[in-house]
Amino acid sequence: MARTKIALIGAGQIGGTLALLSGLKDLGDVVLFDIQEGVPEGKALDIAEAAPVEGFDARVKGTNSYADIAGADVVIVTAGIPRKPGMSRDDLVDTNAKVMHQVGAGIRENCPDAFVICITNPLDAMVYVLQQAAGIPTNKICGMAGVLDSARFRHFLAEAMNVSVEDVNAFVLGGHGDSMVPVTRYSTVAGIPLPDLVQMGWISQEKVDSIVERTRKGGGEIVSLLGSGSAFYAPASSAIAMAESYLKDKKRVLPCAAHLSGEYGVNDLFVGVPTVIGEGGVERVVELRFTQDEQRMFDQSVANVRELVDSCRKLGAI
């Protein structure tokens, strides 16, 4: 059987981490693409030299040529610029929409059957631009945000209750911005819902509220700590979980920015919702029943995404 091929577009902080994780998890051969000369080749060689120590056989190649991504099974896109302290994800729209155009053309010409995961921000709008530019079916492309936002929420909850992160489950939905919606009712510790844990005295409502707020601003917290660049370890881990679910047909239920055609009352927009990811790509969108309050927050988040997509239209990126 032919080896699986994973193309990583963007060989920056997240791209390099994705390449290393793909190797460590034996997901397949890796092609690391970037417009910068030397960087993808250098990172690929460095990771290939870690392979004998770690014991993985993946071939890792760095390139500046889109022809090298031909036939890729999965493409993970991080090309573009990250934010600087004080910037919102939305400030990146002009530059990154143009980048998505180029990347989309590269995918269309070389691997139109791949499952594509977009990480570039502002996520929900960039995945839309990328899908249009690549001309691929909407079930074969999604954005990575929900797994990351939920992981941040899970980490904070586990720390506050002094329990293993493994036993904490959480859903964060909506757009990948400060209006994202951590759904506390569906967040659990070993199956026990968060509202019950509040009643049991495991955590106070005030603490839950502050964790929700910290989760919403989780990306910004790291941007200000780093001083330059944005988070890369957890974003890479999150995208790898999605790629693995597709490649191994695991059918994991993962929140991601998926194309909606009527679900949640939203038409023709990519927004963070729970999905099933398997060999068919985004195989299903899970429709939760919201309370009025949750619906209001979700609608606000969707409105923000729609505004960004409209500004991409005005820029001529769509």
For ligand APR, the binding residue among 99, 168, 170, 309 (CB under 6 A) is: 99
Smallest gap from Cβ 95 to ligand APR, in A, equals 8
User: Interface with ligand APR includes 128 (CB under 6 A)?
Assistant: no
Please indicate if the annotation marks 83 as binding a ligand. yes
User: Interface with ligand APR includes 238 (CB under 6 A)?
Assistant: no
Q: Are strands 267-278 and 281-285 parallel, antiparallel or unpaired?
A: antiparallel
What is the spatial distance between Cα 256 and Cα 145, in angstroms, rounded to a whole number? 6
Q: In sequence order, what are the beta bridge partners of 188?
A: 169, 193
Q: Are strands 192-193 and 115-118 parallel, antiparallel or unpaired?
A: unpaired
Residue 176 annotated as catalytic: yes
Q: Report the residue number, 88 or 138, with the smaller CB distance to ligand APR.
A: 88
Q: Where are the alpha helices (DSSP H) in the chain?
A: 13-24, 39-54, 93-110, 123-134, 146-161, 194-199, 205-216, 218-226, 233-247, 292-314
Q: Report the residue number, 43 or 194, with the smaller CB distance to ligand APR.
A: 43
* Span between the terminal Cα atoms of the chain, in Å: 38
The residue written with tokens 């194309």 in the block is 259
Q: Which SS3 state, helix, strand or coil, does residue 164 take? A: coil
Q: Which SS3 state, helix, strand or coil, does residue 249 take? A: coil
Task: Select which of 101, 155, 176, 259 is catalytic.
Answer: 176
Of 146, 196, 198, 148, the residue nearest 173 (C-alpha): 146
User: Interface with ligand APR includes 82 (CB under 6 A)?
Assistant: yes
What is the spatial distance between Cα 260 and Cα 12, in angstroms, rounded to a whole number? 30
User: Interface with ligand APR includes 104 (CB under 6 A)?
Assistant: no
Q: Report the residue number, 9 or 247, with the smaller CB distance to ligand APR.
A: 9
For ligand APR, the binding residue among 235, 255, 272, 281 (CB under 6 A) is: 235
Residues found in the chain: 318
Smallest gap from Cβ 79 to ligand APR, in A, equals 3
User: Interface with ligand APR includes 143 (CB under 6 A)?
Assistant: no
For ligand APR, the binding residue among 4, 8, 15, 260 (CB under 6 A) is: 15
For ligand APR, the binding residue among 48, 74, 116, 119 (CB under 6 A) is: 119
Query: Which stretch, 75-83, 181-189, 238-246, 281-289, contacts ligand APR (CB under 6 A)?
Result: 75-83
Binding site for ligand APR (CB under 6 A): 9-15, 34-36, 39, 78-83, 92, 96, 99, 102, 119-121, 229-230, 232, 235
Question: Catalytic positions, please?
Answer: 176
